[in-house]
Amino acid sequence: ELAARMAEKTGAVVKALMNNGMMVTQNETIDADTAELIIEEFGHKVVRVSDADVEDVIMEILDEEKDLQSRPPIITIMGHVDHGKTSLLDAIRSAKVVAGEAGGITQHIGAYQVTTDTGAVLSFLDTPGHAAFTSMRSRGAQVTDIVVLVVAADDAVMPQTVEAINHAKAAGVPMIVAINKIDKPGANPDKVRTDLLQHEVIVEKMSGEVQDVEVSAITGQGLDTLLEAIALQSEILELKANPDRAAVGAVIEAQLDVGRGPVATVLIQTGTLRVGDIFVVGEQHGKVRALINDHGERVKEAGPSVPVEVLGLNGTPEAGDVLNVVDTDAQAREIAEYREKAAKDKRAAAGAATTLEQLMANAKADETVSEMPILVKADVQGSAEAIVQAMAKIGNDEVRVRVLHSGVGAITESDIGLAEASGAPIMGFNVRANTSARNTANQKGVEIRYYSIIYDLVDDVKAAASGLLSAEI
């Protein structure tokens, strides 16, 4: 790598190192000081990349008030399982996509935009639930302006409703309550309103400030009122961005596409992203080869609050990674590599710490913690991350779930190999195993389980973990 950067022969660099008393091969990692010595010996100039340099290149540009223009709000739908988050997202999408427009077909790219009857543009994140919301936030990307809290009128406030309220409050994001399933015979919207009081959510009908709208994702009742409530909330927030600057965006989904290579859906936060722009995104970098909007159409540019699929990445970034447009290829590469190394160092440090901690805890308790290893494969990064986070919460002093590996894409033979070696089952979320992997799994007795609902997966692992627990006693 060092030789390549200096455009020198690898052998010459290895020889120079040996002359300096370092008996190394070409794949060995050397420290920065040694590298500096060698670089100078070869007559090149040393440029060290540091945190500060990285910050400098992608420094937050302070926008002047006069450059700011209003931008659409970004909305996340949260609420308890089965209260109708997905149905509501689907209903809004299908009600507002004009038939004939791009064939009336919307592509699932992780977010979509609709225009209300009064002309307000709204951007919806297509991954409902607080797991995705939280994992994005933990990576530093706050991409939600308004939370729509869905509560089923026939079920009222449930545990995940409370979690969602807490997440929205922690993020300081305003809420709108959608009281869903109002078409159902057992619907009791006032119970929802009184239940919410206990969690310090006082809706307008209870003389509070939080807008509440009765809706039905099935009949479409109240949908327009909900959209107008969101538009109103957005006006109050006075959301603004500067479209005339280098783009900054957040990755909401990323995957390795067989035909197209790494693809990331990016929600532009400020600036305008254009075809040909050079960018760095998390530990990856690239040059925008194509931009595809939520109707599957190629577009030349995307401005603030617009979700687009970005093609032209060198690798798959993670949900929550921030995309920054930079001036040159060299900068993009440099920053991405610097981040990759920094992340690797951090992981190594974290790994060592856990092992030590574990050893100490084990020694103290004088008994070992049973670990239940699993492998996770999912269709998109957001789901994989949500599952891994859910797994971390399962377990107690005696049993812990350990995700050996989590990834995006079909279950392959290499997954089976790892699972077999560790005695772990494979949990597939919205993915299948390819034929050869299926055959190998059968031969080796590796269990593959398929899911399309995260909570089912979590429940099964919980049950297995408690089984392990009782077997131990």
Q: Which of positions 102-131 make contact with ligand GDP (CB under 6 A)?
A: 128
Smallest gap from residue 186 Cβ to ligand GDP (A): 10
Part of the chain binding ligand GDP (CB under 6 A), chosen from 49-57, 74-82, 261-269, 409-417: 74-82
Check binding of 85 to ligand GDP (CB under 6 A): yes
Tell me the residue type at 191: K
Residue 146 β-bridge partners: 75
Quote the CA–CA distance of 3 and 21 in Å, as a whole number.
18
- CB of 154 or CB of 413, closer to ligand GDP: 154
Member of 38, 54, 83, 265 binding ligand GDP (CB under 6 A) = 83
Report in angstroms how near the CB of residue 76 gets to ligand GDP at its nearest.
Answer: 13
The answer to whether the annotation marks 81 as part of a ligand binding site is yes
- If the CB atoms of residues 80 and 377 are measured against ligand GDP, the closer one turns out to be 80
Nearer to ligand GDP, 81 or 206 (CB): 81
| Residue 286 touches ligand GDP, criterion: CB under 6 A | no
For the CA atoms of the chain, what is the radius of gyration?
Answer: 25
CB-closest chain residue to ligand GDP: 84
Q: Is 425 annotated as a binding residue?
A: no
The answer to whether residues 419 and 376 touch, using CB atoms and an 8 Å cutoff, is no
- Only segment of 8-16, 22-30, 82-90, 119-127 that touches ligand GDP (CB under 6 A): 82-90
* CB-CB contact of 377 with 408 (8 Å): yes
Contact 151, 163 (CB under 8 A): no
Tell me the window of 84-92, 133-141, 279-287, 397-405 that interacts with ligand GDP (CB under 6 A): 84-92
Of 87 and 107, nearer to ligand GDP (C-beta) is 87
Q: Is 218 in the site for ligand GDP (CB under 6 A)?
A: yes
- CB distance 258 to 132 below 8 Å: no
How near is the Cβ of 396 to ligand GDP at its closest, in Å? 27
Instruction: Determine the straight-line distance between the first and last CA of the chain, rounded to whole angstroms.
Output: 53
Q: Which region, judged by CB under 6 A, interacts with ligand GDP, from 51-59, 104-112, 212-220, 278-286? A: 212-220
Q: Which of 264, 259, 257, 379 is nearest to 311 (CA)?
A: 264
Q: Return the range that interacts with ligand GDP (CB under 6 A); candidates 24-32, 81-89, 98-106, 380-388.
A: 81-89
Does the footprint of ligand GDP cover residue 245 (CB under 6 A)?
no
434-462 b/e with 16+ CB inside 10 Å = b?
eeebbebbeeeebebebbeebeebbeebb
* Residue of the chain from 63, 82, 301, 337 that contacts ligand GDP (CB under 6 A): 82
Looking at residues 172 to 211 of the shown chain, list those that interact with ligand GDP (rule: CB under 6 A): 180-181, 183-184
Identify the bridge partners of residue 286 per DSSP, sorted by sequence position.
Answer: 279, 313
275 exposed, middle or buried (CB, 10 Å; 0-12, 13-18, 19+)?
middle
With respect to ligand GDP, which residue has the nearer C-beta, 85 or 193?
85
Mode of pairing for the β-strands spanning 399-408 and 370-378? parallel
- Closer to ligand GDP by Cβ: residue 160 or 331: 160
Figure out which of the listed residues 70, 86, 389, 466 binds ligand GDP, where binding follows CB under 6 A: 86
- Determine whether the annotation assigns residue 127 to a binding site: yes
83 is in an annotated binding site: yes
- Is residue 87 part of the contact set for ligand GDP (CB under 6 A)? yes
Minimal distance, residue 399 CB to ligand GDP, in Å: 28
- Candidate segments 24-32, 78-86, 108-116, 297-305, binder of ligand GDP by CB under 6 A: 78-86
Residue 27 annotated as lining a ligand binding site? no
Distance CA 37, CA 44 (A): 10
CB nearer to ligand GDP: pick between 85 and 400: 85
The Cα–Cα gap between 96 and 112 comes to: 11
413 binds ligand GDP (CB under 6 A): no
Q: Which residues make beta-bridge pairs with 307?
A: 267
272 labeled part of a ligand binding site: no
128 annotated as belonging to a binding site for a ligand: yes
Q: How many CB atoms lie within 10 A of CB 200?
A: 10
**List 17, 38, 78, 84, residue binding ligand GDP (CB under 6 A):** 84
List all residues 6 or more positions away from 433 whose beta carbon is below 8 Å from its beta carbon: 410, 411, 412, 416, 426, 441, 448
Q: How far is the CB of 79 from ligand GDP (least distance, A)?
A: 6
- Check residue 216 for interaction with ligand GDP (CB under 6 A): yes
**Minimal distance, residue 177 CB to ligand GDP, in Å:** 14
**Residues binding ligand GDP: what is the number (CB under 6 A)?**
16
List, as residue ranges, the binding site. 79-86, 126-130, 180-183
List, as residue ranges, the binding site for GTP. 79-86, 126-130, 180-183
**Binding stretches for ligand GDP (CB under 6 A):** 79, 81-87, 128, 180-181, 183-184, 216-218
